[in-house]
Structure 1
């Protein structure tokens, strides 16, 4: 081994390779076409209130990345289901929490903050009169979600407040739930 050769170890904080994350940021700054991502999920009815959603991949920077995941969904017995899996509302909240979690981990990692623990608890209320079409004055979904973030690590309170503000400003699912997202439907009757 050459005495002048240097081994380069990855800069890993909170399990994230910070060098790779910073390289992605620089790549997107240099070539905005690398920022384009496309996400797709196909869902099929499985009987009763059960459905199965499948992920086959996504694209980033124009390149397809194969992935394969299955997400099973059901409703509680009280809502006509068999209570075999989490329901769509629980998946929605879980997706919000998971997205914010990634944000906290990444924002802490690029600041050199090592996390010891991170928990996000989110809740919301839905009045079934809206969902069941009994009262058009009642919203058929959440009017608000409340969440508590519990975070611990070697950062200061001020650093964690900055991380929190950055996550709120950049999380895709915070954005998706806090803002109206246009929905464009196509119905195909077979």
Structure 2
């Protein structure tokens, strides 16, 4: 997810009615490979039509045996319009947790999603300031207490109580610029926001 950026011309609409945002040309519109001109057009489109601000994601997960599951991404929605995409994400547990160790486990995927989301924000914010990055790494870790998951002690939560992360960033920016970017990422990254505050989980059970 990318943070807001005020500027540049408006969006176009494809023949199917799905809003499209043209990529900027490589000379003037990019920094660190990031399409600044395209980001500006997205912001312009959202400012001119607030309905375009709604971005919706959906993932369908199916158990495939033992502790393995496969999740399918088939589309997302931007401003109410469906955008086709197709990806498969596998998950499994390590053998010491009774799995087949064929893929990252759900906790590792959760942390990966946090790191990746923050990385996009660091790149976008640095690029907007004209900073060329030479390095960006994010290491995140957290500990769970299995007594909570196994319901051996109801006073122990099954999830993380905290996550610890280290960001290593380098480039031609000043230390003050990088500190300001870091603070801005903490305010603008969707996944950081999701994991750092309570959200409403609306579930429904269907027995078939």
Matches within 5 A, 1:78-157: 78-157=96-175
> What is the CA-CA distance between 1:185 and the residue it aligns to?
0.6
Q: Unmatched 5+ residue regions in structure 2?
A: 1-24
Give secondary structure in 1 for the equivalent of 2:159: coil
In structure 1, distance between residues paired with 2:27 and 2:122: 23
Deviations 1:49-94 (A, max 9, x none): 0000000010101211100000000001111101111000000000
Q: 1:179 aligns with which of 189, 197, 204?
A: 197
Deviations 1:2-43 (A, max 9, x none): xxxxx9944110111111111211221221111101100000
> What is the CA-CA distance between 1:130 and the residue it aligns to?
0.2
Structure 1 residue ranges, 4+ long, deviating more than 3 angstroms after superposition: 7-10
Give the TM-score of the pair, scaled to structure 2.
Answer: 0.86
Corresponding position of 1:169: 187
Q: Unmatched 5+ residue regions in structure 1?
A: 1-6
Task: Figure out how many residues of one structure are paired with residues of the other and give that number.
Answer: 184
Give the TM-score of the pair, scaled to structure 1.
Answer: 0.94
In structure 2, distance between residues paired with 1:54 and 1:10: 36
Deviations 1:149-190 (A, max 9, x none): 000011000111111111100000000000111101111000
Distance 1:8 1:88, change over 3 A: closer
Contact between 1:10 and 1:17, CA under 8 Å: does it hold in 2?
A: no
Give secondary structure in 2 for the equivalent of 1:33: helix
Matches within 5 A, 1:31-50: 31-50=49-68
Q: 1:17 aligns with which of 18, 29, 35?
A: 35
Distance 1:135 1:50, change over 3 A: same
